[in-house]
Every structure is written in structure tokens, then in C-alpha cells.
Structure 1
Amino acid sequence: MQRLRAITALVLGAALSGCASTPEQLRGGYTGPEPAEATEEDIGTAVRWGGRLLEVQPQRDRTCFEILARELDDVARPVESSTRPGRRFLACREGFADPASYPAESDITVVGEISGFETRAIGEYDYRYPVLGLDAAHIWPERRVVDPSPLPPPRWWYDPYWRYYPYP
């Protein structure tokens, strides 16, 4: 009986170790505000935000990531469909980051401190972005949709007369 319990614990441990977990650079307890709730009083607060990467904007001395915020799940990945409308924010880091390394429309989670606010135009509208001083960024792999039933059920599954073959 002891051996069975040990084997069961070993198998469960191995199965759970394969489950998704938060990437190392994103771990930590972040209790800061969401992008839509950020104010000047929150400058200097460490946060973990994420969403859909809209654009990577290399500038002379820094690179900014424009992100449409979405809620994060329990492993810090942006959820596909959010109940709240997203707000745009900027995550900027010093130096150059190649836009080709960050595919547009991918899921991204960033960690850093709120460093201020910046007004930029979206069309003819002046939009006020919260700006995050970027410490770490994680691009998530594309979500795969798996069909749970790739084959049709066997004929006997839906044929009530399968026991009476061959038919007359």
C-alpha cells in the first residue's frame, strides 16, 4: 500500500510539473493599478500588465511598445476575451529593440514601474497613455486550437441496429 501511494504521488508530481506556470521574469506580487485606473499618484509603482501588442516604435534613445491592455490569467498571460474594454499603454525601455523580434498582434506581458503619462495622437484624437518603464517583457506563443474530436464516431455509436447485421 505504501508503494502504491509513493507511485501515485510521483505520477501526480510529474503530471503537475508539466502544467503551465508563470515565466520567471514575470513572477512576483504586483498589486498596482490597472492601466485604465493609473493616475499621477501611481508613478513609481511596480506593475505587471499585459495585452495585445499593437506596435513597436524604435526611437532615438528608447523603444516603446504600444499595447492594448487585457486582463491577465493566473499564469500572467492575457486572456483572449476580456469583460472590460482595453486601454492602451506604452511600455518603454532604453536602447534599441528590433521590431521583427516582437510580432504584431501577439500576446505580451510586461513588468516595470509606472514612469508617467504621454499624450499621442490616434487619428485626430489626443490619447493619454500611461507609460511603463520596462524591466521585463514576455511574448507568449500563439494559441493553438485543438479539435477534441478529429474523427467521426464509429458507425455503431449512432446506429441502433448495429447488432443485426447484415440487413435483409
Structure 2
Amino acid sequence: RALAQRQARDERADAARLYGRIATAHTYAGRYGEAQRGWRAAAAGHRKNGDVAAAARALSELARVQEYAGRPEESLRTCQEAVEWAKRADDIRLQAALQLRLADTLEHLDDPEAARLHRAAAERILEEEPGDRDPEPEHGANACEIRSAPAEG
């Protein structure tokens, strides 16, 4: 109902955020197909609204759900797209977080060398970041933790 109201009022930014919240609920419930549709809608909404960083984050979440659904190759492509959007947004922390997500996905695809390269890229990105940083970025106010689910087995 809330989504329909936002759409009726042409509140596109709120609608995009609601698509993400709905997708999150579907993810937790294990309804990965619905979750993927929700994250795609959220990413599209953010792109249309010009919120490049939010589009990158939505794509990252889509990649996470694709991995949960057992589609690591598709997840890898989506995550690479998210990295490109993060670069456009000029969001250093998001770029680094997405490099780590790429590394996790590559490990799940049994490519440890490529994973190592992406982890090193994330470290370089954060080392080049101007200004003071929280020594533990995952606890900072603007931190972005984007990691894959732990491998089972």
C-alpha cells in the first residue's frame, strides 16, 4: 500500500527506497526471485532519480541475492556494474566495499587470484582516500559493508 501511495503521488525517491525494503523482506524470506525483481526496480528508480550511489548500492544488493540464489556468474556481472556506478558516484568507500564483494564472489567461483587482486584494489582505494578515516571503517557512520554470505560446507 505504501508503495502504491508513493507511486500515485509521484514520490519516486521514496518509491525506490520502498522497493529496496520490500526486496530485503523477500530476501530474508528466501523468495529470491521476488527479491531480485525488487532490487532491479529499486536500482532503476534510483537511476531515474539521478541518485547514482543509491543505484550502485541497489545493484550490490541485487548481486548478493543472485549469489544466494545460486547464480554466481550473474552476481559477478551485476557487481561489476555496481562498481561502475560507484565510480560515477565518486563514492570511495562504496567502491572499496564493492571491490570486496567482487573478491568474495570470485572466491565462490574458485578464482582466488582474481579475488586477491580485488582485495588489494579495495585497500589501495581506501589508502588513497583523502581526509581522516575511521580506523575500523565498518563501524563508521558512512561505512558501507557489502559482503557475500559465508560459503557453506
Structure with larger RCO (C-alpha < 8 A, sep 6+):
1
In the superposition, the TM-score normalised over structure 2's length comes to 0.26
In the superposition, the TM-score normalised over structure 1's length comes to 0.24
Q: Which has the higher helix share?
A: 2
Q: Which has the higher strand share?
A: 1
